[in-house]
Chain A
Amino acid sequence: MSHISSLSAHGMQKLARNPVIIATFMALSLAGCASKKGLPNNASDLGLGANGVNGANATPGSSQDFTVNVGDRIFFDTDSSSIRADAQQTLDRQAQWLAKYPNYKITVEGHADERGTREYNLALGARRANAARDYLVSRGVPAGRLKTISYGKERPVATCDDISCWSQNRRAVTVLGGAGS
């Protein structure tokens, strides 16, 4: 989440100077949500892209470009760290993008839903981050560019108490820069 909140702060500073842009962006953002099907796989789909930059406006090679146009996250089945077919497509796009912009270091954050115990979920999040990392390496991303960190169930993005939220929280998020070891 840290990358998203920092984006928001950055975007808001720009936007605050021009109220017209805020109104335009909100309209675009809503349209974007409505047009997507299935599980969201990037910050914009999750309604988190409230930073004044949509896909079309993102500077190629920017973190906004990565988050919105490539998709920064993949999702997992319950208690699983297997990379699903839809997740493979997202990671393939990530690997291509990362090959194109080789200066970024990357942290893969692993997360779990709330339907598990705290310590196990810390380890499960690590397993997922490692699975995503290994996949990216298999697609040519140099291992030296990649770090991982697990937040277990401590940083949900969706907070309801049913599967519609749990399925969004079982995720690995590829963060440009970011923390981790």
Chain B
Amino acid sequence: MKSMIIRTLFMMGALFALAANPAHAVVEININKGNVTPLPIAITDFLSKDGVGKQISDVVAADLKRSGLFAPIDSKAFIEKITNPSAAPRFQDWRTINAQALVTGQVVKEGDGRLRAEFRLWDTFAGQQMIGQQYFTQPENYRRVAHIIADAIYEKITGEKGYFDTRIVFVAESGPKNARKRQLAIMDQDGYNVRSITNSNDIVLTPRFSPNHQEITYMSFEGNQPRVYLLQLETGQREVVGNFPGMTFSPRFSPDGQRVIMSLEEGGNANIFTMDLRSRTTTRLTSTAAIDTSPSYSPDGKRVTFESDRGGSQQIYVMNSDGSGQTRISHGDGSYSTPVWSPRGDLIAFTKQAGGKFSIGVMKPDGSGERILTTNFHNEGPTWAPNGRVIMFFRQNAGEAGPRLYSIDLSGYNEQMIPTPAFGSDPAWSPLLD
């Protein structure tokens, strides 16, 4: 699953080299301002002898539109017809339709069967190329190339890393509520290329990617023994994580991929343990007569947030990664659960139950600055895009037969359902693929 896509930068003369410096870019979006007005952008059909050029530019446009930060302009409004995507466009034609940025490109089939996809991003008001890149890949990877191009455009204009070349692992649910079949599935972040990675009648839950996105840790009821497993995506090889006396559940990787942190249930209490994947040694981090679960490492690996009902109701705690310094950080009305540390380190996302409703929110790691992003009959289980700007979660609407996956911007705007063939729950976002 390592990169099958080769990227080269165009450096076509001094003008482009200059324009690669963000200080000279005129077009930019400050995504720290909350609800931004989407940037009008013209994304022209990439030229190609078959339809693949347009397929790629359509995916780029869909990614950028779904981010909520860009407003692709209807191609019917275009004045200039791009015939040479390598040449400078007639900038005035694009300014006339208020396109602040313009994307051109072409896709050529090479002699060896690979595709060469190239694109250029233009600043129409500055009259400059902002970036130009080309990629070589197998034709079946055309959507990935499109996501990589969308990431490059997003990063150039917002100054933040993109998140389009990523995948989601989740629980695909089908059948009636009282006889639900659950399988783990992986898809691209836009809901395409869904494939199952388990196929049994055992209950499978709470999958998480390893930091190198080659492995999944999850929980399975295989053999009526609810336990944490490790699955190698490349080989399909599976193993039980640790040899614990009770139910193990709620597993996540450490940021270095060396440990799995999880809960162990014994006699009705749940405590948090880690297992080192090399030495197989296990370490107890918490020791309460309560339910301690849903652990999540800070991106530097030095701290862990988790939920505990040791104080009488579910609340969010933070501790050092050796288990010391356990401190409650949630203090609002209601109960708090499923804390997940942002990849940027600055926020913790959570599920909150209050007044018979379930919300997704964020707070700072010291518990201050709580902000609710969305409230509904049942929202649960946030997961962060690798750039820490978008949160995905699952929602069960009252009266509906099953849950669906949704994403929402950190600003609380731009809530969107991710289309999946079956019902979906427990989404977990991969890091950027590379």
Which A residues lie at the B interface, using CB under 8 A?
A: 1, 79, 81, 114-120, 122-124, 126-131, 149-151, 154-159, 161, 179-181
On whether the beta carbons of A120 and B293 are closer than 8 Å, the reply is yes
User: Which residues of B in the span 345-402 have a Cβ within 8 Å of any Cβ on A?
Assistant: 351, 353, 377-378, 380-381, 396, 398-399
Contacts of B396 in A (CB 8 A): 114
Given A81-B268, A120-B314, verify A151-B203 contact (CB < 8 Å): yes
Evaluate contact between B226 and A156: CB separation under 8 angstroms: no
Q: In the complex, are the beta carbons of B377 and A161 less than 8 A apart?
A: yes
Contact B246 A181 (CB under 8 A): yes
Q: Sample 20 A-B pairs with CB under 8 A, ordered by A number.
A: A79-B313, A117-B351, A117-B353, A119-B294, A120-B309, A122-B205, A122-B226, A122-B250, A123-B270, A124-B291, A126-B246, A127-B291, A129-B268, A151-B203, A155-B203, A156-B177, A156-B178, A159-B176, A179-B224, A180-B224
Q: Is B199 an interface position by the 8 A CB rule?
A: no
Cα A29 to Cα B107 in complex, Å, equals 69
A18 to B291, CA, bound (A): 51
Total A-B pairs, Cβ < 8 A: 97
Contact B268 A130 (CB under 8 A): yes
| B124 CB within 8 Å of chain A | no
Q: How far is the CB of B208 from chain A (nearest CB, A)?
A: 12
Residues 257-275 of B, flagged 1 when their CB comes within 8 A of A and 0 if not, give: 0000001010111100000
With A150-B226, A154-B203 given, is the CB distance from A126 to B353 under 8 Å? no
B356 and chain A: residue at smallest CB distance? A115
Quick check: is B305 within 8 A (CB to CB) of the other chain? no
Q: Is B166 an interface residue (CB 8 A)?
A: no
The answer on a CB contact under 8 Å between B178 and A120 is no
Chain A CB within 10 Å, residue with most, of B178, B307, B425: B178
**Residues of B in contact, count (CB < 8 Å):** 43
A118/B178 contact (C-beta < 8 A), A126-B247, A149-B224, A154-B203 known: no
Residues of the A chain whose Cβ atoms lie less than 8 Å from the Cβ of B179:
1
Given that A126-B247, A150-B265, A181-B246 are known contacts, is A117 also in contact with B337, CB under 8 Å in the complex?
A: yes
Chain A residue nearest to B250 in the complex (CB): A119
Shortest CB-to-CB span from A85 to chain B, Å, is: 21
Query: Is B137 among interface residues, defined by CB-CB distance under 8 A?
Result: no
B225 within 8 A of A: yes
In chain B between 326 and 352, which residues have their CB closer than 8 angstroms to a CB of chain A?
337-338, 351
**In the complex, the 5 A-B pairs of residues with the closest C-beta atoms, listed nearest first:** A179-B224, A130-B268, A127-B268, A159-B177, A123-B291
B residues lining the A interface (CB < 8 Å): 176-180, 182, 203, 205-206, 221, 224-226, 246-247, 249-250, 263, 265, 267-270, 291, 293-294, 307, 309, 313-314, 337-338, 351, 353, 377-378, 380-381, 396, 398-399, 425-426
**Interfacial chain A residues near B263, Cβ < 8 Å:** 119, 123
Per the bound structure, the CA–CA distance linking A1 and B180 in Å amounts to 12
Nearest residue (CB) in B for A129 is B268
Cα(A123)–Cα(B314), bound, Å: 12
Contact between chains at A150 and B398 (CB < 8 Å): no
Contacts of B247 in A (CB 8 A): 122, 126, 149-150, 181
A126 to B291, CA, bound (A): 10
Closest Cβ of chain A: how far from B405's Cβ, in Å? Answer: 14
For the complex, give the distance between the alpha carbons of A115 and B263 in Å: 21
Measured CB to CB, the closest approach of chain B to A176, in angstroms, equals 15
Q: How far is the CA of A120 from the CA of B270 in the complex (A)?
A: 9
Residue of B180, B293, B351 touching A123 (CB-CB under 8 A): B293
Residue among A114, A126, A155, A157 having the largest count of chain B Cβ atoms under 10 Å? A126
- Cβ B178 vs Cβ A159 within 8 A: yes
Q: Smallest distance from the beta carbon of A115 to chain B beta carbons, Å?
A: 8
| Residues in B neighbouring A81, C-beta threshold 8 A | 268
Q: How far is the CA of A118 from the CA of B205 in the complex (A)?
A: 9
Name the distance in Å between A109's Cβ and chain B's nearest Cβ.
10
When distances are taken between beta carbons in the complex, the residues of chain A under 8 Å from B398 are 161
Within the assembled complex, what's the spacing in Å between the Cα atoms of A179 and B177?
A: 21
Chain A residue nearest in CB terms to B223: A179
C-alpha spacing A119/B247, complex, angstroms = 12
Within 8 Å CB of A116, what residues of B?
337, 353
- In the bound assembly, the distance between CA atoms of A176 and B61 in angstroms comes to 58
Nearest-Cβ distance from residue A77 to partner chain B, whole angstroms: 14
Cα A124 to Cα B307 in complex, Å, equals: 13
For B270, the chain A residues whose CB sits under 8 A away are 123, 126
